[in-house]
Amino acid sequence: MHLDLPSPRHPWLFRAYYASAVALAGALFALAAPHAARPPLLVMALVVLLMCFDEAAPITLPSGGFANAGAVIDIPCLILIGPFYTAALDVLSALVVQAFVLRKPTIRVVFNLANFAITDFAAGLAFTAAGGRIGQLGLMHDLGPLSACGMAYFLTNAALVSTVIGLSEGPNPYRVWQRNFQQGILHHVSFIALGALVTVTYLGVGSWGLGLFAIPALVARHSFRLYVEIRSDLKDFVRALSEVLEEVDPYTRHHSVRVSQYAVRIARGLGLAEREVEEIEYAALVHDLGKIGPQHQHIIRKAGSLSRDEQRTLRAHPAAGAEIVSKVRALRRASEIVRSHHERPDGKGYPVGLSARDVPVGARILNVADAFDAMTSDRPYRRALSVDAALKELGRGAGTQFDDPVVQCLLDLHRGGRFPLIPSPTSEDLDLLRLRPLQARG
């Protein structure tokens, strides 16, 4: 895995970390060079070609950075020719591809070179420290060293990339690790296992045996690419669903986008795992999807109080939206959050009237985020409240209308300056947004 850097969020920490990584990589090369035995030129040429091929088609990771199937090549190289030449060939191939073929900015290329070098040296050191011998591998005898090598390779690379992404664009490095590496850990382990098999085959039957692994290696790489792309496509699909709301009312769609950002902040503030944060984000983006029916258009725009029939119609939207979202298998957990986001701790919510312990935590978060944005945005029947006024309303409703721990988390985030208001369109802006679709339809 490697990095594609934006402007850093924490400039001083980023610069210190960046400089430390580059300096460490240089020091490792300097210390290892005198003791490295040079492998045959043909072997090095073949390795560089394979590394360049792999590096030329990187896979974009969910929280930034890129991945490839480099472990399938690096693990055999670490065992067969040692960490110095593996790192040197990794650096050479990455420099050629990233700097001259993909033309990435120098700051990104240099960090990626340091990342590859540190990862290779760490994995090679773990292999020899656990009793492994360069140029030899007995699968059963060296199972411990091989496992240590693979674990060091994965953990070092994941830590380096997650940390720099966390310092660059956030969230914190551990959450980046969860999104980029934890959820796809079996894919990364499979690359390491395949690399070990490549080594055993090479030592047992020679270089011709490597041809047996060409197709499995390509299939493993392709499956990982499909896995990452499906995750990315799912997020794009959810965003596309949220844009459907633009046809009903521009306010509803803009509101959903803001609510998703508020909900993510609260979920992370509560310490939820990134898998849950992601589900809450999806649910927030489509939580008002049940309002796409024509019967809601009048209700949404109504400036006065609602009749009983109108209230009944409006209260049906969480279940209606959940039914739509649940048709996508990967969103079924998110659909339960959509269904329950108007339930209350005191049991007076809708559509079911669940008690507090039966309401999913994501729905409790969404309820608070939804209310906060509604109060701090212009509505047809009133102007936006100030942040302080909205927070007081949430405090008054904590434990009855809103989940108390969720409200307290929001208040703590606000006091710490980590819950800034997201600007929303004024009533006049929304009138213009509503007018444009009507003019387009003519």
| CATH placement of domain 248-436 | 1.10.3210.10
Residue 441 has pLDDT above 50, yes or no: no
Burial class of residue 106 (count of CB atoms within 10 Å of its CB; 0-12, 13-18, 19+): exposed
The predicted-structure confidence for 86-141, as pLDDT tens digits, reads as follows 999 999 999 999 999 999 999 999 999 999 999 999 999 999 999 999 988 887 78
Q: pTM for this one?
A: 0.80
The predicted-structure confidence for 25-73, as pLDDT tens digits, reads as follows 999 999 999 999 999 898 899 889 989 988 888 877 766 667 777 888 8
The predicted-structure confidence for 334-382, as pLDDT tens digits, reads as follows 999 999 999 999 999 999 999 888 999 999 999 999 999 999 988 766 7
Compute the average pLDDT of residues 297-326.
79
pLDDT for position 435: 52
| CATH placement of domain 11-232 | 1.10.1760
Domain ranges in the chain are: 11-232, 248-436
Confirm whether 11-232 and 248-436 share one CATH topology. Answer: no
Range of weakest confidence among 212-216, 313-317, 421-425: 212-216
pLDDT for position 381: 64
pLDDT for position 63: 66
Q: Which long-range contacts (C-beta less than 8 Å, at least 24 apart) are formed by 52-55?
A: 52/93, 52/96, 52/97, 54/221, 55/93, 55/94, 55/97, 55/98
